[in-house]
Chains A and B, each alone.
Chain A
Amino acid sequence: MRKKLQEQIERLKKAGATYVDARWYPVEESNYLMMWNGNLKNATSSRESGVGIRALYKGAWGFSASSDVSNIGALFNKAFDNARVAAQRVTFPVRLAEKEAVQGSFSSPNRIDPFAVSLSDKISFLKDLDEKLNKPGVTQRVSELIFMRKQIVYIDSEGSEIEKKIIEVFPSIQVMGVDSQGESHSRKFSPALMGETRGWETVNQQLFSENAERIVREMNEVLVADDCPKEDRSVILLPGIMYLQTHETIGHALELDRILGYELGFAGGSFVTLNDFGNLQYGSTKLTARADATLPNSPGSFGYDDDGVPAQDNLLIDKGILVGAITGRQMVEEANARSHKQIFNGSGGANRATAFYRVPIERMTNINIDPGNDGSLEDIVKNTEKGIILDGDKSWSIGSNREQFHFATDIGWLVENGQITRVVKNSTYKGETVKFYNSLSAVGDQSTWEVRYVDNCGKGQPNQIMQLGHGIPVCRFDNVRIGE
């Protein structure tokens, strides 16, 4: 197959394509198990294979993909034909930033391949968890295991050939209950990064047992709590919601294709402009954020992106100042040309596709916030006069340019004069992105820092679901509107 792909790439080059690449997935597998109130509602596996072809002709992309590889020449022709038509409407001819030709490989670190574990063992794990969640106050209980395994062979017309073997594991549990007013509330747990591998060995019975007990207890506290007050307070965001705040208002806002207007027809743009790099005070000086695809053992670390560019650790926000973006080869060239200056020095290695039948676009890697110097969670609470600690991603809605947002969380704990006083329900907060990050008044130290996984980030048309990570400390923001 590799030889056939090489031959077809050469053929299209001779026919006039300026660049061609192929992503061959010999196999991609998934396994999804979901137990709901003791019923194994989903026991699903999937398998797919196929090829996606990208061709560049006169500054325009064409793409085609198929699971049927019996006529690989026709598939390449289709991609080339699509590029030829696209070339009839070009305003900024696609140029790709320079890169080295790479012969490389990457494998997700894991000790026990989850696909080698028996279905019985997996179900037994879920059953045990379900029993632990089946406690007074719990009306609905859900336990899930998601496993993914894919092999990707990437070959391009610039001499790169890369093979990746990726394994992902996403376990989670959730409980729901109903309060005296008939309103549903939930609490959930999915583990943060543990250890140096992410195979079946990370599905840790002891960890889940402890957290099952905790989420049931906390949900029962929410069921008898008063509503979150409607007022301005300091909000202390635990990693269980701060990861999503970061994801939505730093991550998506700094995807360079969004900034350049390539998502305006669907997901939206960004309040960030090319003039903002090096200038915009995105947040307080306590805010340093990075796109780090070299972080070991996270779904946001993948060795090489789907442009064949090696994974990198790039600063996005340096002590509050915007300095970088989430980038691939095409967009950095266009951004530099449009701004008439060298904002970006080459691709940031963040162009990824979710499957062989989708085209690579700029995706988050691990969008992290560096730990700060404001101590532990206890220290931050002690130094908060009137605040609320928030955790759990219940709801999120963000403006089309990521300029404002509204979040709801699973639980809130009010803080008065440095003390946690009581739990509240229906907690929400909202804000304007730049104003909010400039109100960042405390960033927790390494003891508060966790890597949270995201298994379902959606972007693009046709839509692509991507897996990534966020390394996040506890953060406190001042004068935030809550309870609306």
Chain B
Amino acid sequence: MKDQILQALRDLRDYALKKNIEATFFYHEEDSYLMRFANSAISLNTNEHLIRLEITAYDDRRRASYELITDLKNLDEMKQGVDITAEMVKHAMPLSYQPTVPTFKDSFVDENGFDSSLASLSNEERLEYFNKAVAGLETDDIKLSGIFSCGANTIAQINTRSEHTQYFKTSDAQISIVLSHSTLKWEVIAEQSAQKKSGLNPTALHRDLSYLMERYQNDAPQQIPLGKYDIVFGPAASGDLLSIMNWIGFSGGSMKRGFSFISEEQVGTKVFSDKFNLTDDPTCLDTFPFQRDLMGMPRNSYTIFENGVFKCFTWSQDDADEYGAQPTGHTVMHKSLVLSGGDTEVTTLEELVAMPRENDILYIPFLHYMNLVNPSKGLVTASSRFGALLLKKDGSVVVPYNVRVTQSVLDIFGDKVAWMSKSQTINNTSQSYGARNPTALIVPIFIQVNDLEISHSNSSY
């Protein structure tokens, strides 16, 4: 299949060259499977096989793109796309800067992240996984929801500047299991990400769900008072907070456009807690990485924060072209963010609950519907969801109704960070808007931040 894809791209390149068209070709193929559960049934079982081709034509400073959903057998349709793009670029307005057309110095193939046994998982295997993960946990009132999303993703590129190609193939699975009470409306979650079939472990999810279920089934929920709390964020919450910094934090383009809480003057200065070490690490297979970016630039581990000191912005090629910066290998569909673990030995929720504590601790595993209130200040707002717990200093545990946190990430990851767990985990942040793009971060399992304000506390679910 790889040869067929690359040959189609070479044919398109030849066609463009014959017509004297400067162009790049971006091929994306997904074979996606989604088994979705709701009310303890399979509510949706889908498969989509889609091939997208994006053609970008350049004429000095002019640039235009055309994307089509097509089929490899349909080369004539793709060639028509080249003609359409070439016509579009004639009418495009010149940019104020010179856009860089990629020139691949050699051909590159990366299939390290592809596991055929995960990509070809059967319907029966997906169902069996779910059945194992929730065995004995469902009742007439407690219902199962969630997804088993898996598939294969292929990206291939060529351009008219060189005959070399880039080819990336990966497999991925994202599992999310929710158990919720149909009348009391509480809900708990367990999640897993896998890049290989061997990474699938329904037993681990069963253990996590069992522990939370025991709390939620037996303890009456409470509205907790507004005020300041020491909060322990779980991996999904930390992952969301880090993801939003892609947008309003360390992106050079965002900074230049006024959407960042970090300024150019802060490079080399302390922004966060000295416990905060963030890298973009494309060697980490669990993040579904790009080892080269889409301009052909090799990607190595890239330190963004070291002991809280902001080291450098990330620059995509287009932002670098526009603002006269050096590209940093970040013309990618997603980064491979890794937040280093700390030195606290706590790996499971049971261990967290058992830890001695001087104050009450609010455990928030998941932040729902996060949005930016003020990007210049890093101010975000979101609500807790899916299994929050209030760990009282006397050792008891309270099940709280959901609360709202409206805080700046400067506070959340600043000097208020008390500790981070040594153990890390994968937080799969894949979204299914548009084309498949498996994405994950590596984060400490727990991060405790002291003295954060709760701005709203629900009186029910």
B362 close to A (CB within 8 Å) = no
| Chain A residues whose CB sits within 8 angstroms of the CB of B44 once the complex forms | 61, 63, 86, 359, 461
B237 close to A (CB within 8 Å) = no
Whether B46 and A462, one on each chain, are in contact in the complex, defined by CB atoms closer than 8 angstroms, is: yes
Q: Would you give the 0/1 interface string for B20-38, flagging 1 where the beta carbon is closer than 8 Å to chain A?
A: 0000000000001011111
| Chain B residues whose CB sits within 8 angstroms of the CB of A118 once the complex forms | 91
A89-B42 CB under 8 A given contacts A397-B370, A404-B456 = yes
In this complex, what residue of A is CB-closest to B74?
A: A68
Whether B67 and A182, one on each chain, are in contact in the complex, defined by CB atoms closer than 8 angstroms, is: no
Whether B46 and A359, one on each chain, are in contact in the complex, defined by CB atoms closer than 8 angstroms, is: yes
Whether B45 and A139, one on each chain, are in contact in the complex, defined by CB atoms closer than 8 angstroms, is: no
In this complex, what residue of A is CB-closest to B376?
A: A183
Q: Which of A79-95 contact B (CB under 8 A)?
A: 81-83, 85-86, 88-92
A78 to B48, CA, bound (A): 10
A37 to B323, CA, bound (A): 12
Q: From residue B234, how far is it (CB to closest CB) to chain A in Å?
A: 16
Return the contact of A123 from the options B93, B124, B404, B433 (Cβ within 8 A).
B93
| Chain A residues whose CB sits within 8 angstroms of the CB of B131 once the complex forms | 89
Which of A48, A78, A404, A461: most chain B CB closer than 10 A? Answer: A461
Whether B145 and A264, one on each chain, are in contact in the complex, defined by CB atoms closer than 8 angstroms, is: yes
Q: Would you give the 0/1 interface string for A43-62, flagging 1 where the beta carbon is closer than 8 Å to chain B?
A: 11111111000000000111
Q: Would you give the 0/1 interface string for A389-403, flagging 1 where the beta carbon is closer than 8 Å to chain B?
A: 000001111111101
A127 close to B (CB within 8 Å) = yes
Whether B96 and A38, one on each chain, are in contact in the complex, defined by CB atoms closer than 8 angstroms, is: yes
Which of B81, B95, B376: most chain A CB closer than 10 A? Answer: B376
Q: From residue A250, how far is it (CB to closest CB) to chain B in Å?
A: 16
| Chain A residues whose CB sits within 8 angstroms of the CB of B281 once the complex forms | none
| Chain B residues whose CB sits within 8 angstroms of the CB of A345 once the complex forms | none
A406-B404 CB under 8 A given contacts A46-B66, A268-B368, A399-B383 = yes
Whether A68 and B71, one on each chain, are in contact in the complex, defined by CB atoms closer than 8 angstroms, is: yes
Q: Which of B364-413 contact A (CB under 8 A)?
A: 368-377, 381-383, 385, 402, 404, 406
| Chain B residues whose CB sits within 8 angstroms of the CB of A66 once the complex forms | 48-50
A92 to B39, CA, bound (A): 8
A357 close to B (CB within 8 Å) = yes
Q: From residue A419, how far is it (CB to closest CB) to chain B in Å?
A: 28
A353 to B27, CA, bound (A): 25
| Chain A residues whose CB sits within 8 angstroms of the CB of B318 once the complex forms | 41
Q: From residue B251, how far is it (CB to closest CB) to chain A in Å?
A: 14
Q: Which of A118-142 contact B (CB under 8 A)?
A: 118-120, 123, 127, 139-140
A269 close to B (CB within 8 Å) = yes
A39 close to B (CB within 8 Å) = yes
A226 close to B (CB within 8 Å) = no
| Chain A residues whose CB sits within 8 angstroms of the CB of B456 once the complex forms | 404, 406, 430
A62-B66 CB under 8 A given contacts A265-B146, A397-B383 = no
A67 close to B (CB within 8 Å) = yes
B65 close to A (CB within 8 Å) = yes
In this complex, what residue of A is CB-closest to B385?
A: A400
A65 to B383, CA, bound (A): 35
A395 to B374, CA, bound (A): 8
Return the contact of B91 from the options A63, A120, A262, A395 (Cβ within 8 A).
A120
Whether B49 and A399, one on each chain, are in contact in the complex, defined by CB atoms closer than 8 angstroms, is: no
Q: Classify the secondary structure of A's interface with B.
A: mixed
A428 close to B (CB within 8 Å) = yes
Q: Would you give the 0/1 interface string for B144-185, flagging 1 where the beta carbon is closer than 8 Å to chain A?
A: 011101000000000000000000000000001110101001
A78-B47 CB under 8 A given contacts A261-B145, A406-B381 = yes
| Chain A residues whose CB sits within 8 angstroms of the CB of B18 once the complex forms | none
A396-B41 CB under 8 A given contacts A85-B124, A265-B147, A268-B385 = no
In this complex, what residue of A is CB-closest to B174?
A: A461
| Chain A residues whose CB sits within 8 angstroms of the CB of B43 once the complex forms | 61, 262
| Chain B residues whose CB sits within 8 angstroms of the CB of A465 once the complex forms | 433
B355 close to A (CB within 8 Å) = no
A14 to B398, CA, bound (A): 56
Q: Would you give the 0/1 interface string for A466-478, flagging 1 where the beta carbon is closer than 8 Å to chain B?
A: 0000000000000
Whether B433 and A463, one on each chain, are in contact in the complex, defined by CB atoms closer than 8 angstroms, is: yes
Whether B73 and A70, one on each chain, are in contact in the complex, defined by CB atoms closer than 8 angstroms, is: yes
A166 close to B (CB within 8 Å) = no
A41 to B124, CA, bound (A): 46
Q: From residue A21, how far is it (CB to closest CB) to chain B in Å?
A: 14
B68 close to A (CB within 8 Å) = yes
| Chain B residues whose CB sits within 8 angstroms of the CB of A266 once the complex forms | 147, 176
Which of B370, B374, B433: most chain A CB closer than 10 A? Answer: B374
Stretch at the interface among B4-12, B214-222, B256-264: B256-264
| Chain B residues whose CB sits within 8 angstroms of the CB of A48 once the complex forms | 68-69
Whether A40 and B375, one on each chain, are in contact in the complex, defined by CB atoms closer than 8 angstroms, is: no
In this complex, what residue of B is CB-closest to A179?
A: B376
| Chain A residues whose CB sits within 8 angstroms of the CB of B246 once the complex forms | none
In this complex, what residue of B is CB-closest to A176?
A: B258
A265-B48 CB under 8 A given contacts A184-B376, A399-B458, A404-B458 = no
A140 to B369, CA, bound (A): 27
| Chain B residues whose CB sits within 8 angstroms of the CB of A46 once the complex forms | 66-69
| Chain A residues whose CB sits within 8 angstroms of the CB of B69 once the complex forms | 46-50, 67
Return the contact of B71 from the options A47, A70, A78, A398 (Cβ within 8 A).
A70
| Chain A residues whose CB sits within 8 angstroms of the CB of B36 once the complex forms | 265, 461
Return the contact of A45 from the options B66, B176, B385 (Cβ within 8 A).
B66
| Chain A residues whose CB sits within 8 angstroms of the CB of B455 once the complex forms | 406, 430, 484
Whether B95 and A40, one on each chain, are in contact in the complex, defined by CB atoms closer than 8 angstroms, is: yes
B51 close to A (CB within 8 Å) = yes
Q: From residue A412, how far is it (CB to closest CB) to chain B in Å?
A: 14
Q: Which of A365-402 contact B (CB under 8 A)?
A: 394-401
Q: From residue A405, how far is it (CB to closest CB) to chain B in Å?
A: 9
A271 to B381, CA, bound (A): 20
Return the contact of A44 from the options B66, B71, B127, B385 (Cβ within 8 A).
B66
A123 to B180, CA, bound (A): 51
| Chain B residues whose CB sits within 8 angstroms of the CB of A420 once the complex forms | none
Whether A265 and B178, one on each chain, are in contact in the complex, defined by CB atoms closer than 8 angstroms, is: yes
B63 close to A (CB within 8 Å) = yes
Q: From residue A339, how far is it (CB to closest CB) to chain B in Å?
A: 13
Return the contact of A64 from the options B40, B46, B145 (Cβ within 8 A).
B46
A68 to B77, CA, bound (A): 13
A90 to B45, CA, bound (A): 12
| Chain A residues whose CB sits within 8 angstroms of the CB of B178 once the complex forms | 264-265
A83 to B41, CA, bound (A): 12
A182 to B265, CA, bound (A): 13
| Chain B residues whose CB sits within 8 angstroms of the CB of A268 once the complex forms | 368-369, 385
Nearest 7 A/B pairs, CB to CB: A48-B69, A265-B145, A462-B432, A86-B42, A85-B123, A82-B45, A183-B376
Provide a sorted-by-A list of 7 A–B residue pairs whose CB atoms are within 8 angstroms: A63-B45, A89-B37, A90-B41, A90-B42, A183-B376, A264-B180, A462-B34
Residues of B within 8 A of A (CB): 32, 34-51, 63-71, 73, 81, 84, 88-89, 91-93, 95-97, 123-124, 127, 131, 143, 145-147, 149, 176-178, 180, 182, 185, 187, 257-259, 263, 318, 322, 368-377, 381-383, 385, 402, 404, 406, 431-433, 455-456, 458, 460-461
Query: 12 other contacts beyond A86-B45, A264-B143, with CB at 8 A cut-off?
Result: A65-B49, A68-B51, A85-B127, A89-B37, A91-B39, A118-B91, A265-B37, A394-B373, A395-B381, A398-B369, A406-B406, A461-B149
